[in-house]
Amino acid sequence: MNRVLSLLAMAPLALGVAAHAQEATTEAAMSPWSTSEHAKLRLIAGPTTPTGKQRVGVEIIMSPGYKTYWRSPGEFGVPPSFDWSGSTNIGGLDVRWPVPERFQDSAGYSIGYVGEVVIPISVQPVDPSRPVMIVLKLDYAVCEKICIPARGEASLWLEPGVTTVTSPRLESFEARVPVSVKPGPHKDKTAILDATLDDTVIDPGLRLILQAPPEGKIQDIFVEGPGQWSFGKSRLTPQGDGTVIAQIRINERPKSAAGPFPLIFTIRGTPKPVETRLELDIPAGKP
């Protein structure tokens, strides 16, 4: 009887220890917030992949009405600048951008995220059997009517081979990272069927023929080129055969730029955002 009472008395303590252990695990999976004016930043962790890569997210939450910029900010704005130099046991690191949205800025259209974003990071350790220390210094901008420089600093210790961690926030934004799609028709993904120059837009502009899968929708397309390229807002025109014509103005290009150029096309839409890389032979602009 006394043994039973002792076990019953220990049960709340055991539950408390288990709850504390769960809290400790949760706390270990994210860094403290680094607060700036109108924004805060932290690192959050997901489970280790079967290949040994560590999954991390840079979470940014902004004040209502504020936004920050994508890797290619559009007509105005500055992209985030990552500094990982204080990290240890990192052999490779890949920033995986969720699909952005286009918004009206003070003097034109910019591209980025409104209110919040988690930017997924894939980290390859030098030695997968050893812990990884992620140290981030991030310079970015948060904007409402005007832009304010922000700086966040965060660090996170990652144990190797941890597969029991769950991070719904990270996973939800990983699902928004565009999938890579080659040019040409696809049954279940949005595709670029054709890409040419279009002199009716500007000298020259781009003309794309796009096709979404059944029940899919094309919402916007963002174009990036090497160096000082800048592209305008796409004009989307649905066609009777189920395709969509996209006309995109070239606002700016590197001086004397001519020849085949590698371009990245990111298509926002349903059921899944996609990214396509291709080369276009673009002649030099008029003097």
Instruction: Compute CA distances 164 → 15, 25, 56, 118, whole Å.
Output: 20, 10, 14, 20
Same domain (yes/no): 75, 171? yes
Same domain (yes/no): 111, 40? yes
Task: Look at residue 137 and tell me if it is in a domain.
Answer: yes
Looking at the structure of the chain, the number of domains it has is 2
Task: Look at residue 7 and tell me if it is in a domain.
Answer: no
Model confidence band, residue 18 (pLDDT cutoffs 50, 70, 90): very low
* Predicted structure pTM score: 0.85
Same domain (yes/no): 184, 173? no
Token duo for residue 267:
């298509």
Inform me whether the pLDDT recorded for 188 exceeds 70: yes
Q: What is the pLDDT of residues 203-231, one digit of tens each?
A: 678 999 999 998 899 999 999 988 788 89
| Boundary-marking domain end, from 177, 212, 232 | 177
| Boundary-marking domain end, from 177, 194, 222 | 177
What distance lies between CA 78 and its chain's CA centroid?
15
Task: Please tell me the distance from the alpha carbon of residue 246 to that of residue 92, in angstroms, as a whole number.
Answer: 36
Q: What is the pLDDT of residues 146-187, one digit of tens each?
A: 889 999 999 999 998 888 778 899 999 999 999 999 999 998
Q: What is the pLDDT of residues 98-134, one digit of tens each?
A: 999 998 866 788 999 999 999 999 999 999 999 999 9
Same domain (yes/no): 128, 189? no
Same domain (yes/no): 118, 214? no
CATH label of the domain that carries residue 212 = 2.60.40
Same domain (yes/no): 163, 228? no
The domain of 261 spans 180-282
Task: Look at residue 19 and tell me if it is in a domain.
Answer: no
Same domain (yes/no): 163, 71? yes
